[in-house]
Amino acid sequence: MKTLVQMSLGLTALAAGARLMVAPADAKSVIKGAAKGAAVGHFVGHGHAKAGAVVGAVHGHHHAMKKAAARG
């Protein structure tokens, strides 16, 4: 069961990484989001740091794209 969860997290991370590569964004925002998400996931416990990093990276990318669109 544990390997199934790890495999699904790995595939999720791969899919999120592929999504991030499609549209360019400020790498600093993506990395900062991933670090914040990993920290939050770590404190939640039970191996959620990886999932938090993925979600944080996606959120950082989204925020950077919104900021870029607002600039014009």
- Asked whether the whole model's pTM tops 0.85, one would answer no
Q: Provide the number of structural domains found in the chain.
A: 1
- In the predicted model, is pLDDT for residue 1 greater than 70? no
pLDDT at 61: 83
First vs last C-alpha separation in the chain: 47
- Per-residue pLDDT of 10-59, as tens digits, reads 767 766 666 655 556 567 888 888 888 888 888 887 778 888 888 888 88
Nearest to 23 by CA among 63, 59, 60, 61: 61
- Give residue 38's domain range: 2-71
pLDDT at 18: 62
Q: Name every residue whose Cβ is closer than 8 Å to that of residue 26 and which is 6 or more positions away in sequence.
A: 64, 67, 68
pLDDT at 42: 83
**Alpha helices (runs of H) in the chain, residue ranges in sequence order:** 2-22, 27-44, 49-71
